[in-house]
Amino acid sequence: MKYVVCVCDGMADYPLENLNRMTPLQFSRTTNMDEIAANGRCGLARTIPHGMVSGCDVANLSILGYNPKKYYCGRAPFEAASMNIDLKPGQVVFRCNLVTIAEDIMVDYSAGHISTVEAKVLIESLNDRIGIEGVRFYPGLGYRHIMLVEEKMIHKNLHQLKCMPPHDIVGENITSSLPTGSGSDFLCGIMEKAAQILERHDINQIKVDLNESPANAIWLWGEGTKPELPLFIDKYNLKGAMISAVDLLKGIAKFAGLEVIKVPGATGYFDTNYEAKAKYAIEAVENQDFVFVHVEAPDEAGHTGALKEKIRAIEKFDEDVVGYILDKLSRSDVPWRIMILSDHATPVCVKKHVGDPVPFAIMGYGIERDNVIEFNEKSVKKGAYGLQDGYNLMSIFMAK
């Protein structure tokens, strides 16, 4: 049996007046996802447990079968693992966004989606000039980076530390969203010093001259220490692989013991190589029992309120990823199953993650069809699976 999960990040949404009260998913042309819904079984999944922050980390842990209430340890440790940062006891890591702040307003959580080349220069300049003992920055991709701190520097009451994701406060005053709790003064001091360094950096001076968003500040969040996850193969007796452009997903995969497959042109943005992700997924199926394919673009569109880009991303996901994979699986001589879903909702009208249940559909060997004929947030409410906790999805997907 071969199992493929296709996750369209942030795809789920709310009905919009300018789409005749349809969601972007309902409005989009999704021939292949509709085929899976019509020939399989559907339902809603609560990937964000009650009381937890609506994040990709929590949601994708759920989808992979790990109860976030038990295994969640913060976002940054997973991203650090993807960057081959070997966390030791007594070390804490933070996600470090390069952002644009003007007059205490969070203007852009990605500094205009700064290039990886420019970002690396800025992050290295922080390492050279920040001058704070026990603190080190690690460059990642685009605006996404990591800061490592020796735990003794910020005390040990990490559970009392509260850091707000920058994409949740775009357009808002940052004052009320700065880190709070034990060790927050230390973090705010680093952010202030980093802003002074970045503001005067040549790269940002040029960006200002070109009327581009400067990376004139950092934002620290997603704090955590090294997690302990049981291996995926031990949970399900299956070898698996992860395909994603996002460090977070790659890091979760590493801790779960999944092979991380690098795909040329996978960017985690609107220009990602959808076709290559699908082709590499089918190639991976030859050697693996389970493949997890993740596409980030709809989530980015949701955060920026870019409705047309979100619809385009959903349709590209359906045609170039789901369509290609479904066609190849259908021609296979071995039994298979495919599951499609959104990890969480990122409505374009609110521009941030919400914890609403998301639609999912499963089709393939041994799956009896229900009465759902199309895939969207409304139609799957009639599905045979009903409402499920997200961390049970993998067991449902692989049930004999």
What digits encode the pLDDT tens for the residues 275-299? 999 999 999 999 999 999 999 999 9
What digits encode the pLDDT tens for the residues 27-46? 999 999 999 999 999 999 99
pLDDT of residue 9: 98
Tell whether 6 and 86 lie within a shared domain: no
Tell whether 213 and 239 lie within a shared domain: no
Tell whether 174 and 105 lie within a shared domain: yes
d(CA 23, CA 379): 12
Taking Cα atoms as reference points, which of 138, 165, 140 lies closest to residue 74?
A: 165
Tell whether 239 and 381 lie within a shared domain: yes
Taking Cα atoms as reference points, which of 254, 224, 230, 228 lies closest to residue 241?
A: 254
What is the average per-residue pLDDT within 341-365? 97
The whole-model pTM stands at 0.89
Tell whether 166 and 261 lie within a shared domain: no
What digits encode the pLDDT tens for the residues 71-121? 998 999 999 999 999 999 889 999 999 999 999 999 999 999 999 999 999
Please determine, for residue 161, whether its predicted confidence score (pLDDT) is greater than 90. no
Tell whether 255 and 383 lie within a shared domain: yes
Phi–psi pair at 52, nearest 5 degrees? -105, 155
Amino acid identity for residue 97 in this structure: N
Q: DSSP assignment of 346-397, as one string? A: --TTTTS-B---EEEEEEETT----S--S-STTGGGGSTTEEEEGGGHHHHH
Q: Is residue 190 part of a domain?
A: yes
d(CA 272, CA 255): 25
What is the average per-residue pLDDT within 121-142? 94
Residue 105's domain comprises 82-224
Tell whether 211 and 344 lie within a shared domain: no
Which of residues 200, 224, 248 is at a domain's end?
224
Which of residues 184, 199, 224 is at a domain's end?
224
d(CA 77, CA 224): 6
Q: Is residue 77 part of a domain?
A: no
What digits encode the pLDDT tens for the residues 192-216? 999 999 999 999 999 999 999 999 9
d(CA 211, CA 175): 25
What is the average per-residue pLDDT within 259-273? 94
CB-based contacts of 115-123 (< 8 A; 24+ apart in sequence): 115/142, 116/140, 116/141, 116/142, 118/203, 118/215, 119/143, 119/145, 119/215, 121/203, 122/98, 122/198, 122/201, 122/203, 122/204, 122/215, 123/96, 123/98
pLDDT of residue 269: 87
d(CA 378, CA 43): 10
Tokens standing for 48?
A: 């964000």
Q: Is residue 240 part of a domain?
A: yes
Tell whether 287 and 318 lie within a shared domain: yes
Query: How many domains does the structure of the chain reveal?
Result: 2
Which of residues 224, 243, 272 is at a domain's end?
224
Q: What Rg, from alpha-carbon coordinates, does the chain have?
A: 21
The b/e string for 182-197 (b: 16+ C-beta within 10 A; e otherwise) is ebbebbeebbebbeeb
Q: Are the beta carbons of 367 and 40 closer than 8 angstroms?
A: yes
Please tell me the total number of residues recorded for the chain in this structure: 400
